Amino acid sequence: DGGITQSPKYLFRKEGQNVTLSCEQNLNHDAMYWYRQDPGQGLRLIYYSQIVNDFQKGDIAEGYSVSREKKESFPLTVTSAQKNPTAFYLCASSIWASRPGDYTFGSGTRLTVV
């Protein structure tokens, strides 16, 4: 079955450490997105990518980095510059960036700073 796989489900980061969250999709979707969700709040866009080797900043990109070397993969790195990274991170994809349509979401990664 097609879908989006995020890993790990839970991740613990020490102060000053970079960590990478994985997002893989086998839906042949062009566009991929990363959202952050804080407790009791909505989702905020971190980064998005329309095509391979291209990505753009969303509303809260500071302290994060991404890459899009393959169509199927869109990993998110939370760098030490992100001062408050504890949150729930959701990856999503859509079939064609410029068309309205369904967005498919992964199951999420819960990141905690220890």
Binding flags for other proteins, 20-49, as an x/- string (CB under 8 A): -----------x-x-x----xxxxxx--x-
Size of the site for other proteins (CB under 8 A): 29
113 phi and psi angles, rounded to 5 deg: -90, 130
Which residues are CB-contacts of 9 (< 8 A; sequence separation ≥ 6)?
107, 108, 109, 110
Residue 100 near other proteins by CB under 8 A: yes
Task: Mark the segment that binds other proteins (CB under 8 A) among 17-25, 60-68, 75-83, 104-112.
Answer: 104-112
CB proximity list for 16: less than 8 A, separation 6 or greater: 80
Sequence-distant (6+) residues with CB within 8 A of 49 are 31, 32, 33, 55, 56, 66, 68, 74
**DSSP letter (8 states) at residue 42:** -
76 binds other proteins (CB under 8 A): no
Interface residue with other proteins among 13, 80, 105, 113 (CB under 8 A) is 105
Residue 36 Cβ vs other proteins, minimum distance, rounded to whole Å: 11
Q: Applying CB under 8 A, does 5 fall inside the site for other proteins?
A: no
Considering only residues 11, 27, 97, 113, which one is a binding residue for other proteins as defined by CB under 8 A? Answer: 97
